[in-house]
Structure 1
Amino acid sequence: MRVIGLDAGEKRIGVAVSDPMGWTAQGIEMIPRGTDSHWMDRLEELIEKYEVDSIVIGFPRNMDGSVGDRGKACQALSEEIRKRFDLPVILWDERLSTVAVERTLIAADMSRKKRRRVVDQMAASWILQGYLDAQRRNTDG
């Protein structure tokens, strides 16, 4: 069972994938997101390569739990992905994931330029790891 995690932004999509046991998440790539659907073709290649059976997408809620414009765009994107790939798509609360990753990278004294290259896939990994951990807690307890 492999799960792919996405941190979907307007310009880039961070991608992470779980190990075959579904225990750990690893950032693998950042896909540029243009106005066309070429990024979906790349996502399809990754889904096939890693034999993914479900997709987790970071769901940006407002701090009060409500769904704003970014959240609504994410819901629409999740439906588009679900239809194209015919796989389960789970929206996972991503509040503060990118902020947490940025803080971690700043604490590691990584330059702004380097952070820009890795923050999306690290955020995807953060989102996916949160989902995997929650799934394990639900089955262990």
Structure 2
Amino acid sequence: MAKPTPDTPGADDPGPGRRLALDVGTVRIGVAVSDSAAMLASPVETVDRLTGFKDRDKADIDRLLWLIGQYRPVEIIIGLPRDLKANGSSSVKHAKEIGFRLTRRMTNTDSLPVVPVRFADERLTTVAAERHLRDCGVNTKKGRAVIDQAAACEILQSWLDARSRRLAAP
């Protein structure tokens, strides 16, 4: 598989406002959101993954669109699963498919603005999330849904920090 290239935080920046992040897996989608100043990521929820590649959109896509409507983000950040050598894993297709479906539905829905979908490098975010939760006493096997939210927070916080550095650079 070719090396997928993530987007660059701060490039084509839409300005101030919330960001919404997704950690897309084959079973669950972790969701996180930033504050309106785009400084701090917080967990939102875990959405059960129901829509496959050839399925019609199901309740997972509807729930994500509802969250987009509630939080009104200025951009959506989706984790791009890559290995340590920056090669794409098979999960890249899942992340790209969710991004495509959200963009398509926002484009065809009068009640939602079309929000740019960006892809962020998510290497080691789940490992970091598991470590943080384990340090807090959360059992990683019993806390899978929480781990997905924590991984979405890791993706988003990394994006926000990189965005801040880029916007502050001369």
TM-score (norm 1): 0.92
Shift in alpha-carbon separation, 1:113–1:64, aligned structure 2, 3 A: closer
| Equivalent runs, 1:1-141 vs 2, <5 Å | 1-35=17-51, 37-85=58-106, 86-141=114-169
The share of aligned pairs that are identical, in percent, is 40
Figure out how many residues of one structure are paired with residues of the other and give that number: 141
Larger-gyration structure (1/2) = 2
Question: Could you tell me whether the CA contact under 8 Å between 1:31 and 1:42 is conserved in 2?
Answer: yes
Letter matched to residue 60 of structure 2: W
Tell me, in whole angstroms, the C-alpha distance in 1 between the residues paired with 2:96 and 2:63: 20
CA distance in 1: counterparts of 2:100 and 2:68, whole angstroms: 16
| Aligned-residue CA RMSD (Å) | 1.5
Structure with the largest fraction of strand: 1
1:124 alignment partner AA: A
Higher helix share: 1
Q: What residue ranges of structure 2 are gaps of 5+ in the alignment?
A: 1-16, 52-56, 107-113
